[in-house]
Chain A
Amino acid sequence: MLEVKELKKNIYYSSFVDEKFKFNTIVVNFIVSLNDESAAKNIVLSSLMRQSCKKYCDNLKIGEKLRSLYGADLFFDAKKFGSICVVYFGIAVLDDEFALNNEELTFEALQLLQDVIFHTKLEIGGFSAKELNVEKDNILDIFRSIYGDKKELAIREAKKELFNGKNLSVDAYGSVDAIKSVDGECLKLAYEDLIFRSKVYIFYGGRKSYDGSVNYFLKSFLNCSNFERVDVSSEKYFLEYEKEKVQTDDVVQAKLVLGFATKKQDEAVDIFEDAAIFVMNALFGGAPTSLLFTNVREKLSLCYYCDSVYDSFSGVIWVESGVEMENIEKAKENILNQLDILKSGDFTEYELQQIVFTLESELKKVYDNTQKIASYSLNSFLKNSNITPNDKIDLIKKLTKSDIQKAAKKFFLAISYVLKAKE
């Protein structure tokens, strides 16, 4: 789908242009290793950079600029991919063709993003203590909000428990303590490390190519410093036993999370195997006609939601479900039964075909949306893969029942986590 060009050592770029789009999006991904301290510094730093810069000195000024760009979306975040963290900044703006007064919205949006990334307040003495505290409080507040979302809380706690002691357990924002300890002094170095020393992947997607404006933007990365940008690699890990954890909270409905891992986490998975796991997970609980949905939710009425997600970067399949307190064990037993069905090959060609159809449809949709393309291409880039959505469709169509069975047999229950009501 996308040709990724290496513009300079560890600076990569790809684009996707189609006249069907009405908005143009550019995303700059900085790729770094995941550890608690740097994750906390990076999220505080990027949060500060989003709120003000040398040219737009406060949140109000940035907000006014965005309004003048028809409410352009200036975004940033940090996401983890196994033990790798991606900190990204981006902007999505209405294409110039739709501007009511012939404004050059795309050029101006790229300039704003350039100002945010390269002309920070660090150039003029740094961020104030008040600004730093507001951002730290805002990030800490995100942690507090997660506490209110019991579904999210349960999955986070389960992951923390499973990967305890490994970088994989670190949150993309770091820990509460690490965020609290970020101070103004450390930000300059954190900025240099993130912006000038990390590997960069830039994606542009939109209605027109805007070569002049985009190239001007890209040049700012080529000429910004003489530091060497560093590549990162994933942490290898082993999970060989079943963990169990039960926590209590004020919940009406218990949250049951099961994590399934493979025994050979250090072995590289080839593209065919990866495709088989992708389909196997969809048949297990990742699609509307999955075994978990059809049997555990619909036939047995054991839970309102019960689905599975395959995290290909950590190699773990996560099953999340909301169940009545008295049904926790029964739900767990039946979820495990569904995996056994896959392992024993006790599913039909028809069921497999339905899943392949659903995945085909989902993969085709990637081409309809610049955000989806950006996300797909980043995933491929991190995996060093050049498989397009159409290639992946061809691959999954070739899979047989026995491939799915083989993929299922690799997984064992690594953790069982329950968040239930206090007695």
Chain B
Amino acid sequence: MNRELVNIIKLHESFIRIKHKFGLTIFLKPIKRFSSCMAIFATKYGSVNRQFKTSKDNNFLKVPDGIAHYLEHKLFENENERDAIELFANKKAIANAQTSFDSTAYYFSSPAETFLDALKILINFVQSPFFTDENVDRERGIINQEIKMNEDNPEWMTFFKCLEAMYKESSLKIKISGSVSSIANIDKGLLYKCYDAFYSLNNMALILVGDFDELEVLSLIDSNLKFKESVLVEQKLEFEPYEVNKNYCELYMPVKNPIFYIGYKLSPKRGKDLLKAKVGLEILCEILIGEGSELYNEFYENFLVPGGELNYEILAGVDYFALLFSGESSNPKKVLERISQEINNKKENGVNEKDLELVKRVIFAKSVREFSVPESMAFALFNSFIEDFEISDRLDLIANFNVADIMECLNVIDVSNCSLAISFPTDNS
């Protein structure tokens, strides 16, 4: 086992990172004084992993959309047909799971006194898939309900409409839970195939935060981890052109105000370049639309965006990199026009150094917030594993970001390469 103590000096924090002999990455963050502990068992497997082959396969396998999410649901049931949620409840733990584009995470929080017992359940149920024709079939009804619930959600529908407009081929445009028709094709064989490929310990991390003893948890992990041969997975990616698929698309939903997503399609980046670009975009978005910016005030006062507040998110993966803005507006096209103008304005005239310094503090405080309670600490470590970066590198980047770096970041954005998706109210809304 390879153990290192990682210091995050700017946050006055540290954690332990271990590479287990079976390949699993373990993050340990012992903390005192909090009532709850948190554990996450995660794999780098999500909805975008749709075509792959392992070293044992000759051909690529294209799996039905939504299978990563289906697998997440099914893992909760064990061979005695008992739901893991119930086992956790017996140990005073509250458990849940989530599937995203590029990850699946199983997690629980519990009081310190039952943490080890609940951890044992987590490690075991994630490593013990039990799929039968019957139990796989039974889950379909629940997932269909979830898919339909999402279809009633205007934000969700507009978000994916925007991704469809941006991407021609990338799996990013596929809904995480798939569709009623795609999940109809999921069976136990396919679930096992995906599980064997992506739930290999070298593709996974276990993150523990709370009041525990390091040696005790390591001993428990050692005695519960099951050795599995490392699996090398090769993924097939479709060629994704630089240009967006469509600049504009619309849909009609039962909303009173139009809801929109603006997506600027960027060229994918990797490693340190990606981390720097993401930090830069985060700072840039705060400068552009954060409270205290001219644009926020303009949107607010002119009632172009109710409350003035727009949301932004940055999506990054092997074949995608995108900056999205979203919100409600009576005139989303005007919002797009003003954001693009402001980006071009900053490209031409530069960024105010005082604004940059203030916004860097805002971003820094957000990082401190991520390390303020066990749950968010665990997810901060989880993100660093999934996105493959060091938290201290990110904080150093923020501290040292200068006007020239922001200009470099601005030049990554081509305002003409963007899509706008709007959900308009249906006639009778």
Query: B301 near A301 (CB under 8 angstroms)?
Result: no
Answer whether A250 and B428 are a contact pair too, CB < 8 Å, given A137-B303, A138-B306, A147-B254.
Answer: yes
Query: A67 near B359 (CB under 8 angstroms)?
Result: yes
- Residues of B in contact (CB 8 Å), total 70
CA–CA, A249 to B12, complex, Å?
52
Residues of A close to B361: CB separation below 8 A: 67-68, 70-71, 100
CA–CA, A68 to B290, complex, Å?
13
Answer whether A148 and B257 are a contact pair too, CB < 8 Å, given A59-B300, A67-B290, A361-B110.
Answer: yes
Residues of B close to A67: CB separation below 8 A: 290-292, 358-359, 361-362
| Dominant secondary structure of chain B at its interface with chain A | mixed
Q: Is B341 an interface residue (CB 8 A)?
A: no
CA–CA, A259 to B116, complex, Å?
39
Q: Is B255 an interface residue (CB 8 A)?
A: yes
Query: A100 near B148 (CB under 8 angstroms)?
Result: no
Q: Is A242 an interface residue (CB 8 A)?
A: no
Query: B362 near A63 (CB under 8 angstroms)?
Result: no
Residues of B close to A97: CB separation below 8 A: 12
Query: B148 near A63 (CB under 8 angstroms)?
Result: no
Task: Tell me the minimal C-beta distance from B186 to chain A in angstroms.
Answer: 16
Query: A304 near B146 (CB under 8 angstroms)?
Result: yes
CA–CA, A265 to B94, complex, Å?
33
Query: Out of B93, B152, B366, which one reaches A71, CB within 8 Å?
Result: B366
Q: Give 1 or 0 for each of B223-261: 1 = CB within 8 Å of chain A CB.
A: 000000000000000000000000000000111110100
Answer whether A23 and B255 are a contact pair too, CB < 8 Å, given A66-B291, A98-B12, A137-B306.
Answer: no
Query: Out of A23, A64, A301, A365, which one reaches B109, CB within 8 Å?
Result: A365
Task: Tell me the minimal C-beta distance from B200 to chain A in angstroms.
Answer: 29
Q: Is B308 an interface residue (CB 8 A)?
A: yes
Q: Is A322 an interface residue (CB 8 A)?
A: yes
Answer whether A134 and B303 are a contact pair too, CB < 8 Å, given A71-B361, A250-B426.
Answer: yes
Query: B301 near A59 (CB under 8 angstroms)?
Result: yes
Q: Is B142 an interface residue (CB 8 A)?
A: yes
Query: Out of B110, B297, B364, B374, which one reaches A368, CB within 8 Å?
Result: B374
Chain B positions 23-71 with a Cβ under 8 Å from a chain A Cβ: 31-36
Query: B138 near A63 (CB under 8 angstroms)?
Result: no
Q: Is B164 an interface residue (CB 8 A)?
A: no
Query: B94 near A253 (CB under 8 angstroms)?
Result: no
Chain A positions 58-90 with a Cβ under 8 Å from a chain B Cβ: 58-60, 62-64, 66-68, 70-71
Task: Tell me the minimal C-beta distance from A390 to chain B in angstroms.
Answer: 10
Query: Out of A18, A71, A304, which one reaches B148, CB within 8 Å?
Result: A304
Query: B86 near A367 (CB under 8 angstroms)?
Result: no
Q: Give 1 or 0 for each of B301-338: 1 = CB within 8 Å of chain A CB.
A: 10100111000000000000000000010000000000
Answer whether A63 and B292 are a contact pair too, CB < 8 Å, given A19-B33, A148-B257.
Answer: yes
CA–CA, A190 to B109, complex, Å?
44
Query: Out of B86, B93, B307, B426, which one reaches A361, CB within 8 Å?
Result: B93
Q: Is B151 an interface residue (CB 8 A)?
A: yes
Residues of A close to B369: CB separation below 8 A: 22-23
CA–CA, A294 to B84, complex, Å?
12
Query: B368 near A94 (CB under 8 angstroms)?
Result: yes
Residues of B close to A288: CB separation below 8 A: 85, 88-89, 94-96
Residues of A close to B91: CB separation below 8 A: 357
Query: Out of B90, B92, B358, which one reaches A68, CB within 8 Å?
Result: B358
Task: Tell me the minimal C-beta distance from A29 to chain B in angstroms.
Answer: 22
CA–CA, A70 to B290, complex, Å?
12
CA–CA, A141 to B255, complex, Å?
11
Q: Is A289 an interface residue (CB 8 A)?
A: yes
Task: Tell me the minimal C-beta distance from B203 to chain A in angstroms.
Answer: 28
- Beta-carbon nearest neighbor of A51 in chain B: B300
- Beta-carbon nearest neighbor of B112 in chain A: A364
Task: Tell me the minimal C-beta distance from B254 to chain A in angstroms.
Answer: 4
Residues of A close to B33: CB separation below 8 A: 18-20
Query: Out of B96, B149, B308, which one reaches A59, CB within 8 Å?
Result: B308
Q: Is B220 an interface residue (CB 8 A)?
A: no
Chain A positions 229-254 with a Cβ under 8 Å from a chain B Cβ: 249-253
Q: Is A375 an interface residue (CB 8 A)?
A: no
Query: B368 near A301 (CB under 8 angstroms)?
Result: no
Answer whether A134 and B138 are a contact pair too, CB < 8 Å, given A22-B371, A144-B257.
Answer: no
- Beta-carbon nearest neighbor of A60 in chain B: B297
Task: Tell me the minimal C-beta distance from B61 to chain A in angstroms.
Answer: 28
Query: A301 near B142 (CB under 8 angstroms)?
Result: yes
Query: A367 near B152 (CB under 8 angstroms)?
Result: no
CA–CA, A288 to B97, complex, Å?
12
Q: Is B182 an interface residue (CB 8 A)?
A: no
Query: A367 near B35 (CB under 8 angstroms)?
Result: yes
Q: Is A13 an interface residue (CB 8 A)?
A: no
Task: Tell me the minimal C-beta distance from B28 to chain A in angstroms.
Answer: 18
Q: Is B412 an interface residue (CB 8 A)?
A: no
Residues of A close to B111: CB separation below 8 A: 360-361, 364
Q: Is A369 an interface residue (CB 8 A)?
A: yes
- Beta-carbon nearest neighbor of B302 in chain A: A134
Query: A63 near B293 (CB under 8 angstroms)?
Result: yes
Answer whether A358 and B92 are a contact pair too, CB < 8 Å, given A147-B256, A253-B152.
Answer: yes
Interface residues of B (CB under 8 A from A): 11-12, 31-36, 83, 85-86, 88-96, 109-111, 138, 141-142, 145-146, 148-149, 151-152, 154, 253-257, 259, 290-294, 296-297, 300-301, 303, 306-308, 328, 358-359, 361-366, 368-369, 371-374, 426, 428-429
Could you show 11 A-B contacts with beta carbons less than 8 Å apart?
Answer: A64-B358, A67-B362, A147-B255, A148-B254, A150-B152, A249-B254, A250-B253, A252-B152, A289-B86, A304-B148, A324-B148
Interface residues of A (CB under 8 A from B): 18-23, 51, 58-60, 62-64, 66-68, 70-71, 94, 97-98, 100, 130, 134, 137-138, 141-142, 144-145, 147-148, 150, 249-253, 287-289, 294, 297-298, 301, 303-305, 322-324, 353-355, 357-358, 360-362, 364-365, 367-369
- Given A59-B301, A322-B152, A364-B111, 12 more A-B residue pairs with CB atoms under 8 Å apart are A60-B292, A62-B292, A63-B293, A63-B297, A141-B306, A288-B96, A298-B142, A301-B138, A322-B148, A354-B86, A357-B92, A368-B35
Q: Which 10 A-B pairs have the closest CB atoms?
A: A63-B292, A301-B141, A71-B362, A144-B256, A304-B145, A250-B254, A141-B306, A148-B255, A364-B35, A70-B365
